[in-house]
């Protein structure tokens, strides 16, 4: 099975260039109970429908990003890099010497 997945950096590519890294799940409160920690580490929702997932562009730029994919049809609604993974903004350029 093959479909196109859009890397936010490289654009549309064959899904075989990527590695699926699991559904996006929420970290438990800190410090978690043993039950919360066990659920976070071992249980997944495994939805039939739209799901937010981690992907890694292993045969390309090496970017980690989140895709919203319908698990029934493999249609990808969108991909994006979460704000916490985006590079820090560059400081504005100083006055030019010219």
Q: Interface residues with Zn ion (CB under 5 A)?
A: 7, 9-10, 57, 60-61, 63
> In the bound complex, what is the minimum distance in angstroms from residue 60's beta carbon to Zn ion?
4
- Closest CB to Zn ion among 9 and 72? 9
Q: Hey, how many other C-beta atoms are within 10 angstroms of the C-beta on 43?
A: 9
* Distance in Å, CB of 44 to Zn ion, minimum: 25
Farthest-apart Cα atoms in the chain, separation:
63
Q: Which residue number, 28 or 60, has a Cβ lying nearer to Zn ion?
A: 60
Q: Which is nearer to Zn ion, 15 or 63 (CB)?
A: 63
**Rounded to the nearest 10 degrees, how much is the dihedral formed by the CA atoms of 82, 83, 85, 86?**
120
- The least CB distance from residue 68 to Zn ion, in Å, is 17
Helix (H, G, I), strand (E, B) or coil at 7: strand
Query: What is the spatial distance between Cα 47 and Cα 40, in angstroms, rounded to a whole number?
Result: 16
């Amino acid at each position: 099975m093959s479909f196109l997945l859009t890397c936010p950096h490289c654009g549309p590519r064959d899904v075989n260039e990527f590695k699926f890294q699991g559904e996006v799940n929420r970290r438990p409160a800190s410090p978690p109970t043993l039950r919360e920690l066990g659920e976070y580490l071992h249980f997944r929702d495994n939805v039939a429908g739209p799901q937010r997932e981690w992907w890694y562009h292993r045969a390309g730029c090496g970017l980690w990003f989140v895709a919203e994919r319908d698990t029934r049809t493999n249609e990808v609604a969108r991909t994006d890099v979460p704000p916490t993974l985006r590079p820090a903004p560059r400081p504005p350029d100083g006055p030019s010497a010219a």
